[in-house]
Amino acid sequence: MAKGLDLNTVGELLDHVPRRLVQRGELTSFADLELEAHATLVAEVVSVNTRRMRNRRGSITEVVITDRSDHPGSDLLGRRENRMTLSFFNAWTAARELTAGTHALFSGKVTHYRGSLTMTNPHYAPLDVDDDVDTREAMQNATRPIAVYPATAKVTSDRIATAVHTVLGVIDWRTVPDPLPAEIADRHGYTDLPTAYEHLHRPPDESAWYRAKARFRHTEALVLQTALVRRRRAVELRPAPALPGKPDGVAARFEAALPFRLTDSQVAVGEELAADLAREHPMNRLLQGDVGAGKTVVALRAMLQAVDSGAQAALLAPTEVLAAQHFASIESALGPLAHAGTLGGDPDGTTVVLLTGSMPQSARKRTLLQIASGEAGIVIGTHALLSDTVQFADLGLVVVDEQHRFGVEQRDRLREAGLTVPHLLVMTATPIPRTVAMTVFGDLDVSVLQGLPGGRQPISTHVVGLLEHPTWEDRIFARAREEVEAGRQVYFVAPKIGDDDAVPPMGLADSARALAEIPEATDPVTGAQDSAEQAPGPEEAMVSTAWLAELVEQSPQLGGIPSAVLHGRLDPTDKAEVMAAFADGRTGVLVCTTVVEVGVDVPNATFMVVFDADRFGISQLHQLRGRIGRGSHASTCLLVTRREQGHPSRERLDAVAATTDGFELAQADLNLRREGDILGDAQSGGRSTLRLLRALDDVAVIEEARTEATEILEADPDLENHPGLAAAIAASLDEDTEKYLERG
């Protein structure tokens, strides 16, 4: 059990929750089986036949079983059968025990042989009770549902059941603390802990099983929320310098000069941040706002408040491109206020500096000095800012932009390094459902920036299927030309970089037909989420920036239009150069990878074509699309695919084309993805993670547990009167979980 299922202790065995219950007499429908998967099923034996094998020594026993379905649905081989033939080799006991009419649990790998489903040498356990039983216990057993456990070929469901039953019979429950406080158990009408375990594994009926699971789910939620609330209280109690700002400081002058009116939501969130910063305890806030919602200006106002209070503020971006962008736009937004101490600068302003890993040594040295001396009020950079060589004079506020792209380790390091990070603001455009936020970011306050600033032009999005419409390839290029001729700019996005030598000598539409022949390699829905560079399917067949650049160059429509290529493997100085040329409007077409995915802000860009868009996940496409529609001109996004209509990955494209509302898309995304992807690996795997609780579904329980946890800690901050709960938190806070909580 330790090897196969990582069950090492009695406690872990007891927490191994049955996957489902099977009623006695109820048979498992064969239509639900998956090929090549390990299955546990209950079936009735129809006939048994043993014969000698012709070509080998020994015998074969063929056991025909049925699920007794009257109107059998077609199984995965497309057959309409309610029978399956199992093969046992040299299995004399099986031949004896499995007689016609017997109900038995079979477990093994489902394969196919000569067009029918089969299992070879499956493990089995007859379910029928002997006829001559008369004890009460046996009577009960006869009606009890059967628990089916997550199992492996070696550790079968019924072996687990046997072990659990053995253990349940010998536990001294007085030695097992109950994490769920008695008053909460009473209030919700839950049974005591021993009964709950009994019902989890050997329920008298289905409803008892559900009640038991509800109790354990609630316990899980409470343990997690108590840990998070306690942690948050601890952070809140830490001292931090108050950064109240001042009425006539840089912040006030910046606001007076803003070229637009802040939205109501920007004002409201700004007030929350201002109040947080003014307190003598650290701010710990997550700012969530859709792509283009205007988070930067909100963060900038907070940073200026820090500066006005005599402290420094750091803005961390996930990429150098984005850091450079932030630097350029903040510098221009502040104007003379960004250049105190230089000629033409405002002496009452501050100094904004950019520090990246790729700066020339001399410039870097100068910048480090400005940071160490306190001359630099606002420091912008990537994670390089967290390196040991960077010493701040007085760092008061750290803003982490687009945190979902910002490596977990970096954020961990940020907190570990202590860096005396008194006030922390984390910004993300990825909409996070409330309860996920509560579990994953449960120790942060959450602010939401609603809506988008007014005056935005809509983005219309279309899915372009090159397989159905090969001639549209030309039209895409023609459309790009029109856009550039009208003075606008264009993004061409490819899912990978590629080598110049590997560029296929054909257009996209031609290749679409070739591509249709190649089978998909991995799960198209879950596989493409993280990085386009690791997208599934035949890698070499993907559109690359190299290929696109070639197509642009060869294209009769786009000839003569200045274009450039931007991707992560470019030299940092080249990258900066390319980005600057595009921002200035010197480049008409930017052929790029997802390096432009986050934050990049060129309002004059109005046309985006994402090639092989099916290689990207929903949120990635939403982020990409957020690069256009930023100025006063209407924008268009084309999601080009060479997949056939009805291909599962085209569902994502349709979802993205259907709405520009990030929250709606997040929901669509959730529906198409497994929860593990959202919570990350730390959540879906490993022992210390969520077992029964589902952050997306168990909203009510999580909210309830949050309230209860707060109440408990208010009355009993050190959990002295809740030893069971304290022990459960300690146990679940092993190294992994500790890390996971840090990530908040």
User: Which residues form the interface with Mg ion (CB under 5 A)?
Assistant: 599
Comparison of 497 and 628: residue with beta carbon closer to ligand ADP: 628
> Minimum CB separation from ligand ADP for residue 607, in Å?
18
Minimum distance from residue 292 beta carbon to Mg ion (Å):
8
Q: Is the dihedral of CA 489, 490, 496, 498 positive or negative?
A: negative
- Kindly tell me which of 83 and 295 has the beta carbon lying closer to ligand ADP: 295
Closest distance between Mg ion and the C-beta of residue 296, in Å? 5
Instruction: Give me 714's structure tokens.
Output: 């208010």
**Do 619 and 663 meet the contact criterion of CB atoms below 8 Å apart?**
no
User: With CB cut-offs between 5 and 8 Å by kind, which of Mg ion, ligand ADP, none does residue 92 bind?
Assistant: none
DSSP E strand stretches across 178-308: 284-289
Interacting positions 595-634 with ligand ADP (CB under 6 A): 599, 601, 603, 630
Pair 490, 590: CB distance under 8 Å? yes
Nearer to ligand ADP, 113 or 260 (CB): 260
Helix (H, G, I), strand (E, B) or coil at 715: helix
Give which of ligand ADP, Mg ion, none residue 318 binds (C-beta under 5 to 8 Å, depending on kind): none
In eight-state DSSP terms, residue 128 is: P
Question: Could you tell which of Mg ion, ligand ADP, none binds residue 465, using a CB distance below 5 to 8 A set by kind?
Answer: none
Kindly state the DSSP code that residue 198 receives in the 8-state scheme: H
SS3 of 304-316: the string is HHHHHCCCEEEEE
For residues 297 and 340, which CB has a smaller minimum distance to ligand ADP in the complex?
297
- Give, in degrees to the nearest 5, the angle at Cα 557 between 456 and 476: 50
What is the nearest approach in angstroms of Mg ion to the Cβ of residue 327?
Answer: 13
Partner from Mg ion, ligand ADP, none binding residue 291, C-beta < 5-8 Å depending on class: ligand ADP
Structure tokens at 241: 């310098």
Q: What is the Cα–Cα distance from 264 to 280, expressed in whole angstroms? A: 27
CA distances from 47 to 24, 87, 99, 104 (A): 20, 12, 7, 13
Residue 120: beta bridge partners?
Answer: 87
Would you say 177 or 451 has its CB closer to Mg ion?
Answer: 451
Distance CA 595, CA 317 (A): 13
- Name the residue whose CB lies closest to ligand ADP: 294
Residue closer to Mg ion by CB (options 67, 290) is 290
Distance, in Å, from the CA atom of 399 to the CA atom of 424, rounded to the nearest integer, reads 6
* Range 481-540, binding ligand ADP (CB under 6 A): none
In the complex, least distance from residue 363 CB atom to ligand ADP, rounded to whole angstroms: 26
Question: Under rule CB under 6 A, how many of the chain's residues touch ligand ADP?
Answer: 19
Beta strands in 593-720 (DSSP E): 605-610, 635-641
* Positions in 292-351 near ligand ADP (CB under 6 A): 292-297
Task: Answer yes or no: are the C-beta atoms of 408 and 606 closer than 8 Å.
Answer: no
Q: Binding to ligand ADP (CB under 6 A): which residues in 223-262?
A: 260-262
The entry of Mg ion, ligand ADP, none that residue 292 binds, CB within 5 to 8 Å by partner kind: ligand ADP
302 or 679, CB closer to ligand ADP?
A: 302
Residue 263 binding partner per list Mg ion, ligand ADP, none, with a CB distance cut-off of 5 to 8 Å that depends on partner kind: ligand ADP
C-alpha pair distances (Å), 176 with each of 172, 179, 194, 301, 599: 7, 9, 9, 53, 52
The listed partner (ligand ADP, Mg ion, none) that binds 262, CB under 5 to 8 Å by sort, is: ligand ADP
* Pattern 38-57, ligand ADP, x by CB under 6 A: --------------------
Q: Please choose which of ligand ADP, Mg ion, none residue 630 contacts, taking the beta carbon within 5 to 8 angstroms, the exact cut-off set by kind.
A: ligand ADP
CA–CA separation, 661 and 431 (whole Å)? 10
| Least separation in angstroms between CB 116 and Mg ion | 57
CB nearer to Mg ion: pick between 599 and 617: 599
> Closest Cα to residue 11, out of 209, 203, 216, 207?
216
Among all residues, whose Cβ is closest to Mg ion? Answer: 599
Q: Is 367 helix (H, G, I), strand (E, B) or coil?
A: helix
State the Cα–Cα distance between residues 279 and 171, nearest whole angstrom.
51
Cα–Cα dist 125/107, whole Å: 9
Q: How far is the CB of 580 from ligand ADP (least distance, A)?
A: 17
330 or 682, CB closer to ligand ADP?
A: 330
Cβ closest to ligand ADP, residue 623 vs residue 641: 623
- Neighbouring CB atoms inside 10 A of 73's CB total 11
Longest dimension (CA), the chain: 102
Based on CB atoms, which residue is closest to ligand ADP, 496 or 627?
A: 627
Contact 373, 288 (CB under 8 A): no
Shortest distance, position 459 Cβ to ligand ADP, whole Å: 13
CA dihedral 529, 530, 533, 536 (to 10 degrees): -40
Category of 112 on φ-ψ map: left (φ > 0), alpha (ψ -120 to 50) or beta: beta
- Alpha-carbon span 426 to 457, nearest angstrom: 28
Whole-number Cα distances in Å, 737 to 224, 687, 742:
10, 9, 8
Q: How far is the CB of 296 from ligand ADP (least distance, A)?
A: 3
From the list ligand ADP, Mg ion, none, pick the one residue 43 interacts with, judged by a Cβ distance below 5 to 8 Å according to partner type: none
Integer Rg of the chain from CA: 31
Name the helix (H) or strand (E) containing 581: helix 572-583
Q: What's the closest the beta carbon of residue 294 comes to ligand ADP, in angstroms?
A: 3
Cα(242)–Cα(379) distance, integer angstroms: 20
Whether the CB-CB separation of 48 and 95 falls below 8 Å is answered with yes
Q: Which is nearer to Mg ion, 270 or 599 (CB)?
A: 599
Q: How far is the CB of 680 from ligand ADP (least distance, A)?
A: 23
Measured from the CB atom, the residue of 285 and 481 that comes closer to ligand ADP is 285
Contact indicator for 480, 607 with CB cutoff of 8 Å: yes
Residues whose CB is less than 8 angstroms from the CB of residue 384 and which lie 6 or more positions away in sequence, other chains included = 355, 356, 357, 390
| Min CB(623)–ligand ADP separation in Å | 9
Q: Which is nearer to ligand ADP, 15 or 601 (CB)?
A: 601
Using the rule CB under 6 A, is 145 a contact of ligand ADP?
Answer: no
Which residue, 291 or 690, has its beta carbon nearer to ligand ADP? 291
Give whichever of 483 and 597 is closer to ligand ADP, judged by the CB atom: 597
Say how many Å lie between the first and final Cα of the chain, rounded: 33
- In DSSP terms, 425 is beta-bridged to 285, 399
Q: Which does 181 bind (CB under 5 to 8 A by kind): ligand ADP, Mg ion, none?
A: none
Site string for ligand ADP, 268-297 (x = CB under 6 A): ---------------------x-xxxxxxx
Closest separation in Å from C-beta 406 to Mg ion: 12
| Cβ proximity to Mg ion, 396 vs 599, nearer residue | 599
Site for ligand ADP in 414-473 (CB under 6 A): 429, 453
- Smallest gap from Cβ 333 to ligand ADP, in A, equals 7
Task: Classify 196 in phi/psi space as left (phi over 0), alpha (psi -120 to 50) or beta.
Answer: alpha
Q: How far apart, in whole angstroms, are the C-alpha atoms of residue 359 and residue 572? A: 9
> What is the contact surface with ligand ADP in residues (CB under 6 A)?
260-263, 266, 289, 291-297, 429, 453, 599, 601, 603, 630
